[in-house]
A and B are shown apart, each in its own frame.
Chain A
Amino acid sequence: MIGLALRRSALIPLVLLVASAVVFCLSRLLGGNVTRSVIRSRSLASAPDPAAEARLAAELGLDRPLRDQYLAWLAGAVRGDLGRSFTTRAAVGPEVLGAAGVSATLAILGLAVALAVAVPAGVLAADRPGGAGDRAVDRLGAVVLAVPEFVVGPVLVLVVAVWAGWLPALGWGTPAQAVLPVVTLAFFPAALAARLVRAETRVALAHPSTTTAVAKGLTRRRVLAVHVLPRSLTAVLAEAGPFLAGTLGGAVVVEVVFDVPGLGRLLADAIGSRDLPTIQAGLVVVLAVALVLTLATELLGRALDPRLR
């Protein structure tokens, strides 16, 4: 177990190194005319003059050989300096870390809300097959899984913020502003988790250990909470790590809709303006978090479920 953890965590820096080199080189080789995009994002000139382009390329170091550019970036990255944004010239490192903090808060809150709804719903649905809870998980779940975040978000803004005026539509920082983004983000994982928990709970209910627990004369609630619940959470836990990692970069839709200054929106904006240092730093952070979380959930799963060892 510890050996596996060490082996797998030793691989992470290696994967990061390779991935950073690939992204760095490919984005510079295939990405089209970077200087023109940068000038366009700074001013409104649609066709900048060649002299200005050459000056900017020299200023950004884009005229140097690719290998030198990457080694310079790597040398900086090792010291914790991730370079300066092409468009704003601000240091990329603090900006990316700040945005990652916002995204992490959003992701954890979203997952917490989703699980708080989904776990009880899934267990109760499995406990009464064909009952109201079971049908709700079926139908509501199917609807929610069919509706993407870029529909849920704008519709919630329209209904809750614009027409009803209960909550602010945009921004980040106050608890009221967090409600809509967190709820939007929680929709999909809640539906998915409810179905997973229900399926796992059905299996756990049919297990001999459950029959034993019932035969011992324990209350139904105690059987569900102590004997069934731990068994039915393994599948959800296995999904939770990748979900958190995905949300860090993938909550971009929610962050754009609600104007949340997170990592996803930072990345999407940077991609639009070809701000390569920000893209590079953002992707490396997202990838690092994804690798660490995937490993962590796998280890947690093994610790919880002896059958996986």
Chain B
Amino acid sequence: MAALVVVAVIDWPVEATDFANRLDPPSGTHLLGTDQLGRDVLARVLGGVRWTVGLGAAAVLVSVVIGTAVGLATGWLDGTRARIVGTLVQSVVDLVVALPALLVGLLVAAVLGPGLAPAMIALVVMGWAPFARLAHRLTVTARTEEWVVAARSLGAGPVWILRVHVLPAITGPLREAFTARFVGAMLTLAGLSFLGLGVQPPTPEWGAMLAEGRTYAFVAPWLVAAPAAAVVLVSALAGRSRIR
């Protein structure tokens, strides 16, 4: 985790071309070989951490903030009107959760055109819903706990109670859900980029690199293998840290 952050911060020479050594197999100078423009594949894979892992995490982070705010609000508010709004929000949540991730990506790309910004918007559009559902459920449970009732009878306002008494009580499950959703978001982003609908080349995003490398799969299989291994490695590691 910390290693990934370090790798993401460093500026790797992702665009340095060396036309004399194009499509070189892995060797001592280029540990993972070079691509069709003589760019070092290892540098590009490491440089891709910032895009694939960083953007995936950023999208989930925004989703957590939006979803938690919505869930806290719908879970806390009482009364007929609030309940109608809550039911409406929950049915939107149900709809969004049921949609396949790539389909949402296609939908947003259909409306806004392909690109990095539409892909990120798509990730957030589908990302907030599960957090809203979770935060809603947790808040409904928390509001009946004695300490919340006690705080309320002491005259604490709703914002204070939510921030001081409810939010800390529900961050554990939310953090759990963050890692669970992160893998999905990262894979969706890479998938969209693979299709040419997300991050565009020459940016070294792993999905985009895979798509580019596919053209040269016959002569330079390392162009496919390197980004593929990177994606699988990170998603497997994140999946394992979730179980612990």
Contact = CB atoms under 8 A, between A and B. Distances in A.
A12 to B, nearest CB: 13
A226 B218 CA distance: 50
Contact of B235 (A146, A252, A264, A279): A146
A150 B221 contact: no
Given A146-B239, A154-B214, A271 B102 contact: no
B212 to A, nearest CB: 11
Interface in A153-186: 154-155, 157-158, 162
A286 B101 CA distance: 14
B111 A26 contact: yes
Nearest to B235: A146
Interface string A132-163: 00000000001101111111001101100010
A286 B105 CA distance: 14
Interface string A93-122: 000000000000000000000000000000
Interface residues of B, number: 38
Interface in A275-309: 279, 283, 286, 290, 294
B210 interface: yes
A242 B221 CA distance: 35
B110 A148 contact: no
A272 interface: yes
A103 to B, nearest CB: 12
Interface in A209-268: 242, 245-246, 249-250, 252-253, 256-257, 264, 267-268
Nearest to B232: A147
A242 B197 contact: no
B191 A253 contact: yes
A101 to B, nearest CB: 19
Interface stretch (A1-9, A27-35, A52-60, A83-91): A27-35
Given A242-B98, A283-B107, A271 B217 contact: no
B207 A150 contact: yes
B106 interface: yes
A246 B231 contact: no
B102 A147 contact: no
Contacts of B217: 154, 157-158, 162
Contacts of B103: 246, 249-250, 286
Interface string B191-229: 100111100000000010011011001100100110010
A16 interface: no
A242 B100 contact: yes
A151 B113 contact: no
Contact of B239 (A145, A150, A155, A158): A145
Contact of A142 (B210, B218, B239): B239
A150 B232 CA distance: 11
A23 interface: yes
Given A250-B103, A274-B113, A154 B235 contact: no
Contacts of A246: 99-100, 102-103
Contact of B218 (A31, A149, A162, A249): A162
Main secondary structure of the interface of A (DSSP, over half): helix
B109 interface: yes
A102 to B, nearest CB: 17
B106 A148 contact: no
B195 A151 contact: no
B106 A154 contact: no
Contacts of B109: 271
A150 B113 contact: no
A185 to B, nearest CB: 12
Contacts of B213: 154
Contact of A151 (B106, B114, B232, B239): B232
B106 to A, nearest CB: 6
Interface string B74-118: 000000000000000000000000111111001101111110000
A146 B183 contact: yes
Contacts of A155: 224-225, 228
Contacts of A250: 100-103, 106
B113 A32 contact: yes
Nearest to B223: A154
B42 interface: no
Nearest to A248: B103
Given A146-B239, A250-B103, A271 B228 contact: no
Interface of B: 98-103, 106-107, 109-114, 183, 187, 190-191, 194-197, 207, 210-211, 213-214, 217-218, 221, 224-225, 228, 231-232, 235-236, 239
18 contacts: A27-B111, A31-B113, A32-B113, A142-B236, A148-B187, A148-B231, A149-B191, A150-B194, A155-B225, A158-B221, A158-B225, A246-B103, A249-B103, A250-B106, A252-B106, A253-B191, A267-B106, A268-B195
Given A149-B191, A151-B210, 14 more contacts: A31-B112, A143-B236, A146-B232, A147-B235, A151-B232, A154-B217, A242-B100, A246-B102, A250-B100, A250-B101, A250-B102, A253-B191, A271-B106, A279-B110
**A-B CB proximity, top 4 nearest:** A246-B100, A250-B100, A150-B194, A146-B236
